[in-house]
Amino acid sequence: MATNDAGGFSREEEHSIEFAFGHKRPKGQRLKLGKAGAKAQAWRTVTKAPEVIVRVSGGGKTAQHVKAHFDYITRRGQLEMVNDQGETIRGKDQVADLFDSWDMDLSKGQGELRQAFNVVLSMPAGTDPQKVLAAAQGFARETLYGKHQYAMVLHTQETDPHKDAPPHPHVHLIIKAEGYNGKRLHIRKATLQAWRETFAEQLRDRGIEANATPRAVRGVTKKSKGVALFHLEKKHGREESHVYRAKVEEAIKELNAGTQELKPWEKAIINRRQKTLREMLQAAKTYEAEGDKELADAIRKHAASLPRPETERHAIKAEVAQELQRIRDQGKQRGPEAARGDKDKER
């Protein structure tokens, strides 16, 4: 059974993350869902309900940067913006008036501290865009209303004038970092998870099946690329990325040296996976004891289906090893002289 397999790095490491079909509040205490809520969350996870995405895409450190983002997400006034009062802002002039009302030039730390946060809330293609927008408004009211000024814009492939508009509906939410009381907003990893849960709940309230499962419970171990790197690789190709080339060179060195030692973060991933699996199987055992064998079996099946844990470094190393083997195999087919030439190329 796959749950006995430590996965992509080693079968000897042991390890650790809390499995709770799984929710934590920002301060770390377990969120009590109640039996019905916990079961519903478990079913959404094992049936792979669509996962919401809430990510911070950046934020300006000057008033000018924040104004530029207002213009960017509204496509210079072509798309409607909704402010924290639920009012619709249309056209370049109204967008400029809304920005002026934020008094960004009076915020502390101009040029040093982030003056606003740019957040993206999205769902897979095919989701009702208006319900995504309504859920984003509900999320913002529950999370930010009365604390921070904010505004948002819905982007869809049909309405976004950008030539490369993605197919999935998403909302660009811009939040003023300095609150009404002068306190600054700090977005941490636990904050983002809590925000994902709130956004998913708002979507479910509107009849859209949505989940906010932690990465470890879904078996995801590779971190997503930063926005800048993603667009750079999309525009020029992955091989043109200095970051990617450096990782390839490191992989070649390790393969030539026969290095097998795991990096500390890879050991942590193995540990998280092992503990996640233990908690999943314990949850299955508990539900079975309560008489819900169907859910228990579904949890076990989900645990067995998790992919082998893998980081980008591990994936690149595997790609390089496969390519080197291909070169060697071609050399064998062409004869010893050609094989020696290929080895010189590898160096």
Q: What is the pLDDT along the chain (347 residues), one digit of tens a residue?
A: 333 333 333 333 322 223 444 434 434 333 445 577 788 888 998 999 999 999 998 889 999 999 999 999 999 999 999 999 999 999 999 999 999 999 999 999 999 999 999 999 999 999 999 999 999 999 999 999 999 999 999 999 999 999 889 999 999 999 999 999 999 999 998 999 999 999 999 999 999 999 988 777 776 655 554 444 344 444 445 555 676 677 667 666 766 666 666 667 677 777 878 888 888 899 899 999 999 999 999 999 998 888 777 666 666 666 766 776 777 777 667 665 555 555 555 55
> Pairing between strand 81-83 and 88-89?
antiparallel
Beta carbons within 8 Å of 280's beta carbon, 6+ residues apart: 3, 19, 217, 299, 300, 302, 303
CA distance 186 to 177: 8
Total Cβ atoms within 10 A of residue 323: 13
Total Cβ atoms within 10 A of residue 46: 22
- 46 close to 299: Cβ distance less than 8 angstroms: yes
AA letter at 274: Q
CA distance 63 to 176: 10
> Pairing between strand 116-122 and 88-89?
unpaired
CATH 3.30.930.30 given to domain 50-210 = yes
176 SS3 class = strand
> Pairing between strand 150-155 and 81-83?
antiparallel
- CB-count burial class (<10 Å; 0-12, 13-18, 19+) for 102: buried
What's 226's DSSP letter? Answer: P
In which residue ranges of the chain is CATH 3.30.930.30 found?
A: 50-210
Total Cβ atoms within 10 A of residue 157: 14
- This prediction has a pTM of 0.70
Q: Which of 130, 176, 185 is nearest to 149 (CA)?
A: 176
